[in-house]
A = this chain, B = another copy of it.
Amino acid sequence: MVLLSGGLDSATTLYEARSQGYRCHCLIIDYGQRHRREVESAKRIAQAAGSAARVIRIWLPWGGSALTDRSIRVPVGRSLKKIGKGIPATYVPARNTVFLSYAASWAEAIGASAIFIGANAIDFSDYPDCRPNYYGAFRKVIRLGTKAGVEGREIRIATPLIRMTKAKIIRRGRKLKVPYELTWSCYAGAKRPCGRCDSCLLRAKGFREAGLRDPALV
């Protein structure tokens, strides 16, 4: 089970899981995000990887985030020093908890042994649900709260990128032949990446530090 958003990190995670010998099922979640076009990217990436994929449409109608509520603006043009210090308006209440709960349900139903998620706590937006101790807590929820867990069939949560810099992720992904030209990171979700939201800025920093050109911008 791979949670695939269509961004750079989750695409690399899918290829990482494949390289470890897993037969992957991708869970793609359309939650009404501003940048819903990432869903199309995710589908193409799963196809390129030759992995099964399922798109789930969910509904978080209470907003509370710049990604799900059009009346809240996506921060743009922030300095890289500021990104990662303080939780920004693009935080979606309990989003990864909702995503992981669906992943746990599907994983249990099909007997999957692991859930891969491309969370990263280095070049990131300081989201609490991207930090290592959060994943430790969720592991325990699965162990105690599922039939598989209490019967000793572990469903582990794998976060292979969690302590990597964006540059390191990209270099690893290049080796794994991740089709970065298909990935989509921009929060604005227009025709072309805006280049100014936190997600674009972190992505650009990663390619810059890796000494590579971003193939999605060519």
Contacts and interface: CB of A to CB of B under 8 A. Distances in A.
A133 B144 contact: yes
B145 A138 contact: yes
A207 interface: no
Given A140-B137, A140-B140, A141-B137, A128 B147 contact: yes
Query: How many copies of this chain sit in the oligomeric assembly?
Result: 2
Contact of A96 (B63, B91, B134, B145): B145
Contacts of A198: none
Contacts of A137: 137, 140-141, 143-145
A147 B97 contact: no
B95 A98 contact: no
A129 to B, nearest CB: 4
Chain A interface residue bracket vs B? 35 or more
B138 A141 contact: yes
A58 B106 CA distance: 14
Given A128-B146, A131-B144, A101 B94 contact: yes
B98 A102 contact: yes
Contacts of A149: 128
A145 B141 contact: no
A64 interface: yes
B109 A64 contact: yes
Given A93-B147, A94-B101, A94-B105, 7 more contacts: A57-B59, A87-B150, A87-B151, A92-B105, A94-B104, A98-B102, A128-B147
Nearest 6 interchain pairs by C-beta: A64-B109, A62-B109, A93-B108, A94-B105, A101-B101, A137-B140
